[in-house]
Amino acid sequence: MPPNPKRILVIAMRFLGDVLLTTPLIHSLKLAYPDAEIDVLVYANTAAMLEGNQDINQILTTVNRPTFADYGRLVPQLFRHYDLAMVTQSGDRPFLYGLLATTKRVALVPSKNTTGWWKRYFVQHWVEFDDNTHTVLQHLKLLNALNIKKYFALIPPQCSETEQLLKQYPFINSNKDYVVLHPHPQWAYKQWTSEAWIELGHYLHELGLTLVLSCGPSKQEIDYVANIEQQLPEGAINLAGQVSLAQLTTIISKAKLYIGPDTGITHLAAATGIPVIALFGPTNPVKWAPFPVAYQSEANPFDKIGDQQVNNVHLIQGAGDCVPCDLEGCDRHRLSHSDCLSKLSAKKIQMLVLSILQKDKKA
């Protein structure tokens, strides 16, 4: 390993939440090598998760399905421009980019009994992908090769236009508390029912909380949230398609509470430090639970089974002996439903909300 790398490339090529979960690794590198330039390679549709991150010199982007022309633009940006590459996914394409970037590489690799076992022979240090280690902690294991201190805090995107945002949405600084609801995950198999969201929304309104709705930019998500809004009490605020990730971070950070499914925005909400209720079904929380604020241990924050609380994150699992199955819903595809989430009672979440608010009043 280079003793004092001057240019470092971190490769993080999955979804929004995955990119956010690499920020402790990036921050650890920056604190260990303050004079180094750290670039991050991500998909273009996830780059916003790194907005305003002071640890990063340059964000390089590529598309999810590159053409030969896309490769032609990216390869010259990478080829032997770096002293060190940190590859945080075990797939072929991120690994190839690491090979191109430098001769010094640390990478996450597939287990030895899979087809990608050979990758460990092309790196100076490797960490085997492990479903029983939280993603943040697995990323930080990559630092063992460098013998540098690990920092655990996630760094959400930073909004550079806070004053304008507060003028546009005066509810943020009003005297009335609000709760952010994120009803639609990226994939249907992680979705709670719209009926449950509506029931929960009415309950929160009765508690005197303003309802703020968020979702991703796709038309399907925007339409879904609009349908829920129509069945909520008057006064709900629908931010669907209206704010950037950095703006949404600011809005969430000033909320009384956030409630959402297993999706990237729930990871972001947890990173702001406010109380978060995360609704989990098929997904293994050991690996993918929102990382709690102020958590600083190399032990996994969450167990695989059961409703749990660690610091600001309240994780609620759907019911069923099969939970978590770690599969894509009951029909085994991303557009499938999940019985465990369909059967999750809104009243159970209501009781938890009341408990959180009562503890907050006592504090």
**Domain termination site, one of 119, 145, 171:** 145
Is the same domain home to 208 and 93? no
The CATH code of the domain that includes 122 is 3.40.50.2000
- What does the pLDDT read at residue 2? 77
DSSP 32-84: H-TTSEEEEEEEGGGGGGGTT-TT-SEEEEE-SS--HHHHHHHHHHHTT--SE
- What does the pLDDT read at residue 96? 95
**Domain termination site, one of 90, 117, 145:** 145
Is the same domain home to 50 and 182? no
Per-residue pLDDT tens digits for 276-316: 999 999 999 999 999 999 999 999 999 999 999 999 999 99
Segment 224-243 mean pLDDT: 95
Is the same domain home to 102 and 207? no
Is the same domain home to 121 and 192? no
Range of the domain at 23: 7-145
Report the predicted TM-score, pTM, of the whole model to 2 decimal places. 0.96
Is the same domain home to 21 and 83? yes
Q: Which ranges in the chain belong to alpha helices (H)?
A: 16-20, 23-32, 68-78, 92-101, 135-141, 162-168, 194-206, 219-230, 245-253, 264-272, 285-288, 339-342, 346-362
Is the same domain home to 188 and 215? yes
Per-residue pLDDT tens digits for 29-43: 999 999 999 999 999
Is the same domain home to 350 and 211? yes
Tokens standing for 205?
């309104």
Does residue 28 fall inside a structural domain? yes
Is the same domain home to 102 and 37? yes
Is the same domain home to 69 and 176? no
Does residue 74 fall inside a structural domain? yes
Per-residue pLDDT tens digits for 318-354: 989 999 999 999 999 988 989 999 999 999 999 999 9
- When divided into structural domains, the chain yields a total of 2
